């Protein structure tokens, strides 16, 4: 018999948290998602789980690529900075059995043009340390 | 009562360690692993700076640049560099 920690879909949880906190901080209803929406809104944030490792039995450290999409490069850059601030604020946040212990920036916002559309995109990469209080008994 | 402990950093020694051939070889191995995981068209470069060795993995061809722009192929390959 062993209790094994379960971890959340980090991209989905962090995308939801960005939406809530961005609205509180900046007042606009930002679309956040973990996949490219169709049709695309004029402005949105996409959170992609690109890897990461489990640090110990109860701590996961997913690596998240966070893309800020907008109609212009300057707005995409500004949105990326807004989201950067929101993500930094997540340290200590709790979500139904999970706690964000730490947020580390692997790569800050940079311009990554999209070859498939005319939308502008800035992207940054973060490592988010998540502690789980949810476990399943596996025999 | 325990006496005070004084720690003096050996800056020259630390820099020598950060530039050591073994460190460079390890970083190159990690860079090559990431480049291999990312797919064709990625290039690894190493440079010995003033205080440390730096290894970079870049998209070196149009198809590799497109793979990163569309599929985030190089970003997704970061974990390959972590493996010991």
Q: Determine the Cα–Cα distance for residues A135 and B58; give it in Å rounded to an integer.
A: 40
**Hey, CA dihedral for A62, B42, A107, A66, is it positive or negative?**
negative
The minimal CB distance from B69 to the residues A63, A114, A125 is found for A114
- The predicted pLDDT at position A11 comes to 96
Strand-pair partners of A46: A33, A67
Task: Give me the mean pLDDT over the B18-47 stretch.
Answer: 97
- The predicted pLDDT at position A117 comes to 93
Whether the pLDDT of residue B2 is over 80: the answer is no
Q: Is A52 on the interface with B (CB under 8 A)?
A: yes
Q: Give the Cβ contact number of residue B31 at 10 Å.
A: 21
Complex ipTM, two decimals?
A: 0.84
Contact criterion met (CB < 8 Å) for A114 and B75: no
- The predicted pLDDT at position A98 comes to 96
Closest-CA distance, A27 to chain B, in angstroms, reads 30
Contact criterion met (CB < 8 Å) for A116 and B72: no
Contact criterion met (CB < 8 Å) for B79 and A114: no
């Amino acid at each position: 018999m062993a209790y094994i920690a379960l971890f959340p879909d980090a991209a989905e949880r962090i995308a939801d948290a960005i939406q809530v906190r961005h609205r509180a901080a900046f007042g606009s209803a930002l679309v956040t998602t973990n996949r490219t929406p169709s049709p695309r809104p004029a402005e949105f944030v996409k959170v992609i789980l690109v890897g990461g490792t489990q640090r110990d039995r109860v701590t996961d450290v997913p690596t998240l690529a966070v893309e800020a999409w907008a109609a212009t490069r300057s707005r995409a850059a500004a949105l990326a900075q807004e989201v950067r601030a929101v993500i930094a604020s997540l340290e200590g946040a709790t979500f139904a059995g999970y706690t964000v212990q730490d947020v580390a920036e692997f790569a800050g916002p940079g311009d990554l043009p999209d070859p498939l559309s005319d939308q502008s995109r800035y992207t940054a990469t973060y490592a988010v340390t998540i502690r789980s209080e949810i476990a399943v008994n596996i025999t | 009562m325990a006496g005070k402990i004084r720690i003096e950093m050996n800056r020259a020694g630390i820099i020598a360690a950060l530039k050591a051939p073994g460190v460079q070889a390890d970083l190159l191995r990690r860079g090559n692993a990431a480049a291999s995981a990312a797919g064709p068209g990625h290039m690894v470069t190493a440079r010995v700076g003033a205080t440390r060795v730096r290894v970079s993995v870049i998209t070196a061809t149009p198809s590799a640049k497109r793979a990163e722009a569309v599929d985030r192929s190089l970003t997704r390959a970061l974990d390959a560099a972590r493996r010991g």
